[in-house]
């Protein structure tokens, strides 16, 4: 069966949904293809369940840091209640509500595995083996996301390791968990399970959170240890084996062994493009899809193939993927309807904020929030850098907000232009400081204007005043 429409979107996660919604709102006929759950990885196995698993223990720790509230806390974390709340947030892995939303906005859903079959053509294989051929008049958008990378460790794949999916959907909490990796997924899941009382051991080949400022990873390593986790840096298991008893045995260099109930692998992601039919349009199966700022795939003529979200490798974060999706959907509509670039409701259908202004929050203990360039990345980019750092306790509101370790804040300044190009905050609830920094970076706000953005007293946001004081008053020698 052949079906002709204006736009075909492959992948109905948040990114694909946003492309489809934007194109449909412009009056285009849109079909979205999904072989799993509408709502995708973020809704059921990543952002939503992981942050739900983390929240309860974080709230309990926060209460215990404030005298008066601390004395009122008389019980331990109810892990069963945490898991039940997570199940509610993921709708017990039912996409009925998400499918209802597609219906409400007029987006047609086709269930099955979609593959490119040449220019503007997608063949969908349904669960019963039947096929539907979709022909796109204007565009095909690929938003298939990414999968975990399985490192080459002897026996690991055969040991039935957890990936992020198993970690975020578990209905029982293991007594012992080994975590291989030092990135965001690794530290967040280590934090979550340590909060449940699990005996957690993290193996990281180098430091934690390697793409951030060094002090962020150091603080998170200390925080994990304070939660009772063991953090082993510069160590990677050489062999992993699932014993007949069900236990996992990890063998390290020199023969040392660690026994755990489960092992979580969190060592990176790869594009979900190996069975996408890329070869039919001259691209390499399994590759990341290189795109321009209109999210058009390079190497494919005709301006019809778009790639958004993880699959283009620009920024593997849901919020950035949705940002790209808004730009891509507007671009598809503009090209299809012969509208000028500036007719898009937000100014243009290009994506530029995922080059040097990507915001990210790591919900670890302590929390880490960052946007833009690290000092090292800025120097590598040829920027004349100045870094200013202060402790969060320099803000009067921090001590009122919570007792305990105050945390740290840093700005990376482009001295030639007098603008903020990067910011990092470490401490309790610092994710709520991030958007101000994102606006400063994206808006290229001069630091002498930031003096006039007065933070309310006594809030943690007063840290901006202290950072500017460390930088130096306008007109004064730094």
Task: Provide the greatest CA pair distance for the chain.
Answer: 73
The kind and range of the H/E element at 336 are: helix 318-336
**Residue owning tokens 């990885």:** 41
Pairwise CA distance, residues 88 & 83, whole Å = 9
Q: Let me know how long the chain is.
A: 478
Q: Are 356 and 373 contacting, i.e. CB atoms less than 8 angstroms apart? A: yes
Binding-site residues, please?
A: 51, 114, 144-146, 181-188, 268, 310
Binding-site residues for NAD(+), please?
A: 181-188, 268
Please provide the DSSP assignment of 391-438 as one string.
EGGGSHHHHHH--S---EEEEEEETTTTEEEEEEEEETTGGGGHHHHH
Report helix, strand or coil for 282. Answer: coil
Structure tokens at 256: 């040392």
Sign of CA dihedral 257, 263, 265, 266: negative
Q: What angle do CA 309, 144, 275 make, to 5 degrees?
A: 140
Binding-site residues for FAD, please?
A: 51, 114, 144-146, 310
CA distances from 420 to 244, 387, 451 (A): 56, 10, 13
The closest alpha carbon to 23, from 337, 380, 431, belongs to 337
The closest alpha carbon to 185, from 343, 354, 49, belongs to 49
**Residue owning tokens 């079909």:** 31
Separate counts of helices (H) and strands (E) for the chain: 16, 21
Q: What angle do CA 455, 461, 467 make, to 5 degrees?
A: 90
């Amino acid at each position: 069966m052949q079906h002709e429409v204006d736009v075909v979107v492959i992948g109905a996660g948040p990114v694909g949904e946003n492309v489809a919604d934007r194109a449909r709102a412009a009056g285009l006929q849109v079909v979205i293809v999904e072989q799993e759950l509408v709502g995708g990885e973020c809704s059921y196995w990543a952002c939503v369940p992981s942050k739900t698993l983390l929240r309860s223990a974080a709230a309990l720790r926060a209460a215990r840091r404030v005298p008066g509230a601390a004395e009122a806390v008389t019980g331990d974390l109810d892990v069963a209640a945490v898991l039940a709340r997570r199940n509610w947030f993921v709708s017990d892995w039912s996409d009925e509500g998400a499918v209802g939303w597609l219906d409400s906005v007029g987006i047609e859903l086709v269930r099955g595995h979609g593959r490119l079959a040449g220019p503007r053509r997608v063949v969908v294989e349904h669960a019963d083996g039947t096929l539907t051929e979709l022909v796109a008049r204007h565009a095909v958008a690929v938003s298939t996301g990414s999968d975990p990378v399985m490192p080459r460790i002897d026996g690991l794949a055969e040991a039935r390791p957890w990936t992020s999916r198993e970690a975020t959907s578990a209905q029982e909490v293991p007594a012992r968990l080994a975590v291989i990796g030092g990135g965001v997924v690794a530290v967040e899941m280590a934090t979550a399970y340590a909060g449940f009382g699990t005996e957690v051991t993290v193996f990281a080949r180098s430091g934690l959170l390697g793409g951030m400022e060094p002090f962020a990873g150091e603080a998170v390593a200390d925080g994990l240890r304070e939660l009772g986790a063991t953090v082993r840096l510069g160590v990677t298991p050489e062999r992993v084996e699932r014993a007949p008893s069900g236990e996992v045995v990890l063998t390290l260099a020199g023969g040392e062994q660690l026994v755990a109930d489960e092992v979580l692998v969190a060592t990176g992601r790869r594009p979900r493009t190996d069975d996408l039919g890329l070869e039919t349009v001259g691209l390499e199966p399994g590759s990341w899809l290189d795109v321009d700022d209109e999210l058009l795939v390079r190497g494919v003529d005709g301006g019809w193939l778009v790639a958004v979200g993880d699959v283009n490798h620009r920024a593997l974060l849901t919020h950035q993927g949705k940002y790209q999706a808004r730009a891509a959907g507007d671009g598809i509509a503009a090209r299809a309807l012969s509208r000028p670039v500036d007719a898009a409701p937000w100014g243009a259908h290009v994506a530029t904020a995922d080059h040097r202004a990507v915001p990210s929050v790591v919900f670890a203990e302590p929390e880490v929030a960052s946007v833009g360039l690290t000092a090292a990345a800025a120097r590598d980019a040829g920027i004349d850098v100045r870094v200013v750092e202060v402790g969060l306790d320099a803000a009067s509101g921090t001590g009122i907000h919570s007792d305990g370790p105050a945390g740290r804040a840093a700005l990376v300044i482009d001295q030639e232009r007098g603008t903020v190009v990067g910011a990092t905050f470490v401490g309790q609830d610092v994710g709520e400081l991030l958007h101000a920094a994102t606006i400063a970076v994206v808006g290229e706000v001069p630091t002498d204007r930031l003096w006039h953005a007065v933070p309310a007293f006594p809030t943690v946001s007063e840290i901006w005043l202290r950072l500017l004081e460390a930088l130096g008053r306008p007109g004064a020698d730094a």
